Amino acid sequence: MTRTLQTLMLATLLALTGAAPAHAHQLNVFASVAGETITVEGKFSSGRPAMAGAVKVYDSANALLHETQLSADGTATLPVPANVTGIKIEVIAADGHSNYWIMTAEDLAAGAAK
């Protein structure tokens, strides 16, 4: 399955679960993998980090796998979940703004090789 198709499937899932769209005071979420660790970054469109907020990781069946909190620098780290074909990482900032980042199996595999 191509990465794009995987991404679209996860995006569809996300839409069905009612994730919040971007707004003017936009929260941007990005995540990257290095080895066994995922680093999540939450940043507002102003450029300022989201200093507090919940981080939730779901699998492709929308089951909650992991939950943690952003640090004051707007980041969080978490372990790469085992046996997943892709995940979505949702960040809900303390002010209620939320957004997400999708990681496909391809993304996870590429990051694991770093």
Which of 1, 4, 25, 94 is the binder for another protein (CB under 8 A)? 4
Residues 47-66 that bind another protein (CB under 8 A): 47
CB of 45 to another protein, least distance (A): 7
Three-state SS for 21? coil
**Reading across the β-sheet that carries 27-34, which strands appear in turn?**
27-34, 37-44, 75-79
Spatial distance between the Cα atoms of 111 and 96, rounded to a whole number of angstroms = 30
CB nearer to another protein: pick between 9 and 78: 9
Determine the interface stretch with another protein among 24-32, 57-65, 69-77, 90-98 (rule: CB under 8 A): 24-32
Alpha helices, DSSP H, located in the chain: 3-16, 105-112
Contact 18, 58 (CB under 8 A): no
26 binds another protein (CB under 8 A): yes
Contacts with another protein, residue ranges (CB under 8 A):
3-4, 7-8, 11, 22, 26, 28, 30, 32, 43, 45, 47, 99, 101-102
